[in-house]
Structure 1
Amino acid sequence: MRTAVIIGGGIGGLAAARALTRRGWRVRVLERAEAVEGLGAGLAMAPNALRALDTLGLGDAVRSRGAVGSAGIRTWRGRWILPTDAEALRRRFGDTIVVLPRAELVDLLGGGPVAELVHTSAEAELIDPGGPVRPARVRADGRERTADLVVAADGVRSRTRARLFPPAAGHPGPIYSGSTTWRVIAPGVTVKEAGESWGPEGLVGLMPLAAGGTYFYAMARLLAGTPSRPVTHHRPAAPREGQGLPPSTDEHAELVRRFGHWHDPIPEVLADADPGAVLRNDVWHLPDPPPAYHSGRVALLGDAAHAMTPNLGQGACMAVEDAVTLAHAVGAGPADTDLREALAAYTAARLPRAAGLVRRSAAVGRMSSLRHPMARALRDTGIRLLDRVAPSLFYGPLEDVFGWRPPAD
């Protein structure tokens, strides 16, 4: 039986563990945290990710736990720019978007036989990526482990990626996207429909949860690491491009300052959210992909390979895609010569698609964060006209995202 070590116990790492185990690999997951937790608020699983989850035997479980979402867009005053029909998405792609708490997806991926494979408090480091006649070597817990395959699912600041493709050799690492996100769940308010609102201070997304409550997320352009500031007045002017904000740590107050005067039910959702539960993250991404998603016996997966901005809602989706594609490529434990070909096939299948979505997500982020009123008016009018006159031009690009299907044996 072939062996695999997975560095990282997040969504991508757990999905890879489940996918490889189903293919007959003996797997060990090394997670540096003390426990595998679904840190974060909520996430959306698009039709492409649901198909990938189907291959892991979890698609229906996710559908049953999640709420049906759509992807409509409004202005910050509440006027529709692009209403989206969830049933139209279902007819076109076979599924709609399913929204659920991140912790529930982590529980599903890491449950059952996978739970026994995870070793926490295990800070892992790649020692040797291996080669045609030698295994890869990883150090963790003060000891070395060898494996036929190492899967690096260690996030946007992946030490494994830097080891394989060092910046000193001309391979750029992650850069700050120029935007910051906030996430929180409002348990006492359930919105009727999912969607985003775009305005001068950034964007807000509201997604209903199946068990009740609303997943709230927001995004704004901000200098990396700039502290938030407390509420000072109700309708502040939007900061200039690149301008930071005075120091504070009250992220909930920052959300109220930026978005508390937007259309209903945004103020109600913010009022219901626990101020101490707001998560903030500066968004880093990989606009320049590594030359390959593999080297030696190591495969990069998820954010370690293609960290992207959240504007397409595809970060977790792409990690699950990676996992099932990698497991299909390496099969049930190939011979050494076949493993090199299998990992090359994995790169060929994943790098063009993922790199394209990284660029597209960043472009959507720039479009959604326009500050000049005239630029926003032209954008909104153009989107409305496109939807009315040639809706296929809108749904066509979604085919590239939502229309993906897992590789078949």
Structure 2
Amino acid sequence: MARAVVIGGGVGGLAAGAALRRKGWEVTVLERAPVIEPVGSGLAIAANALKALDVIGVGDRVRELATVEGRFGLRRSDGRWLTHTTEAVADAKYGDSVVLMSRATLMEVLMDAFGREHLHLGTTVTEVDPDKGLVRTDAGDLDADLVVGADGINSAVRRTLFPAHPGPVYSGVTAWRGLVPRGGLEIPRSESWGRGTVFGIHLLAGDVVYFYATDVLPAGTVHADERAELLRRFGDWHDPIPALLRAADPARIIRNDVHYNAEPLPAFHRGSVALVGDAAHAMTPNLGQGACQAIEDGVVLAHHAGHHAGHASGGALPGGALAAYSAARVERTAKIVQRSWTLCRMSKLRNPLAVGLRDFGLSAAARLSPDLMLRSMDEVLGWRPPAEAGR
């Protein structure tokens, strides 16, 4: 049986591991953290990712555990809707809508699908040889027919494969995230834009509200009290934003600078090593596609590598398999990275005239074409897994 070693136990690594196992591969996932503590708070899982999750047998479980809200869209800081659509319209168009769940819940589902006994925690990878399929760790060496680099935005595997690539760059915005009990508040699923600022609200299962916010700040800015900073920026925005922030636990608010791959990689593989997720195509969160594209990666990689799963271990995976994976993913993800960055730039506008023109343009376009919000996402949400991987 062919062997795969996945470096990184996040969403992309576990999705790739589960997809490869369903194709008959023997898979080991290496995670340097001693325990899985999912970074982040909530996730939007769009129609394209749900179709990919169907391939690994967990799509319906995710739909069952997630929440779906009727209306969602974009608002101004005073609460006025700029553009919106509904779950029913999205479902009719793509066969699925966008569901919402905590990152922790998705991780639990993926770990169950992959098999926890194959997940090696507290294991640090020290070297990867893409020509020999050799993975060196602090616990010993592993030989593999396929190595999957799923080690995140600061990927050491990516630097090994493409040492001349500049890597992710700072987008100019920092992001806050948190979970807050609903507490009887009315929670409209929406993202609101101000002058260089963004605030998003999503209701998760268990009456928990996931919020995120962004602002334009120099890289590395640190505040002694992040909740106080959020209240200073968003305390006069529309309801229920001020109440949510007052109810937030300051110690549980996460803040990080947002980086993305401004320059696409030339390929997502070299030798017997393939990259997935942020290691391959880090993007700003504006399209909500980061985790979705990582899940797509895992399914497409398994599709192209699956034909060789029955080979005896020790035989190198044919280069054409990973070349086909790169061909299927590099162009698609580069477009999505760029589209997300375009939205990020629009949200960063601070000049009052530019902000007014932006908001007027969005509102006018939505009136002229009520389905604009969804039509603009056709290429992203209309994706389907490779033909042989039907639901």
When normalised by structure 2's length, the TM-score is: 0.94
Query: Is 1:287 equivalent to 2:262 in the alignment?
Result: yes
Query: Is 1:212 equivalent to 2:182 in the alignment?
Result: no
> Retained in 1: the 8 A contact 2:123–2:139?
no
Relative distance call for 1:259 and 1:393 in structure 2 (3 A) is closer
Question: What are the equivalent positions in structure 2 for 1:198-347 lying under 5 Å apart?
Answer: 198-228=193-223, 249-333=224-308, 339-347=318-326
| Equivalent of residue 177 in structure 1, options 149, 171, 195 | 171
> Retained in 1: the 8 A contact 2:83–2:373?
no
Match of 1:105 in 2: 106
Match of 1:377 in 2: 356
Q: CA deviation at 1:251?
A: 0.9
> Retained in 1: the 8 A contact 2:58–2:113?
no
Counterpart Cα distance in 2 of 1:71 and 1:309? 20
Q: CA deviation at 1:43?
A: 0.7
Counterpart Cα distance in 1 of 2:384 and 2:114? 26
When normalised by structure 1's length, the TM-score is: 0.90
> Retained in 2: the 8 A contact 1:125–1:159?
no
- What 5-or-longer segments of structure 2 have no aligned partner? none
Match of 1:23 in 2: 23
Aligned residues, how many? 382
Query: Is 1:68 equivalent to 2:68 in the alignment?
Result: yes
Query: Is 1:395 equivalent to 2:370 in the alignment?
Result: no
Counterpart Cα distance in 2 of 1:112 and 1:304? 22
Relative distance call for 1:7 and 1:113 in structure 2 (3 A) is closer
Question: What are the equivalent positions in structure 2 for 1:74-223 lying under 5 Å apart?
Answer: 74-111=75-112, 114-130=115-131, 135-167=132-164, 171-189=165-183, 191-223=186-218
Say which SS state the counterpart of residue 100 (structure 1) adopts.
Answer: strand
Say which SS state the counterpart of residue 95 (structure 1) adopts.
Answer: coil
| Equivalent of residue 358 in structure 1, options 332, 337, 354 | 337
Counterpart Cα distance in 2 of 1:24 and 1:212? 39
> Retained in 2: the 8 A contact 1:41–1:185?
yes
Relative distance call for 1:113 and 1:350 in structure 2 (3 A) is closer
Match of 1:368 in 2: 347
Match of 2:41 in 1: 41
Amino acid in the other structure paired with 1:155: G
Amino acid in the other structure paired with 1:381: F
Q: Which moved more, 1:386-395 or 1:33-42?
A: 386-395
Amino acid in the other structure paired with 1:140: T
Relative distance call for 1:80 and 1:393 in structure 2 (3 A) is closer
Q: CA deviation at 1:273?
A: 1.4
> Retained in 2: the 8 A contact 1:386–1:394?
no
User: How much identity, in percent, do the aligned residues show?
Assistant: 49
Relative distance call for 1:213 and 1:344 in structure 2 (3 A) is same
Q: 1:150-185: per-residue Cα shift (whole Å, max 9, x none)?
A: 000001110110011003xxx211111111100001
Counterpart Cα distance in 2 of 1:223 and 1:71? 31
Counterpart Cα distance in 2 of 1:274 and 1:122? 32
> Retained in 2: the 8 A contact 1:3–1:27?
yes
Match of 1:234 in 2: none
Q: CA deviation at 1:142?
A: 4.0
Say which SS state the counterpart of residue 350 (structure 1) adopts.
Answer: helix
> Retained in 1: the 8 A contact 2:56–2:113?
no
Relative distance call for 1:66 and 1:393 in structure 2 (3 A) is closer
- What 5-or-longer segments of structure 1 have no aligned partner? 229-248
Say which SS state the counterpart of residue 84 (structure 1) adopts.
Answer: strand
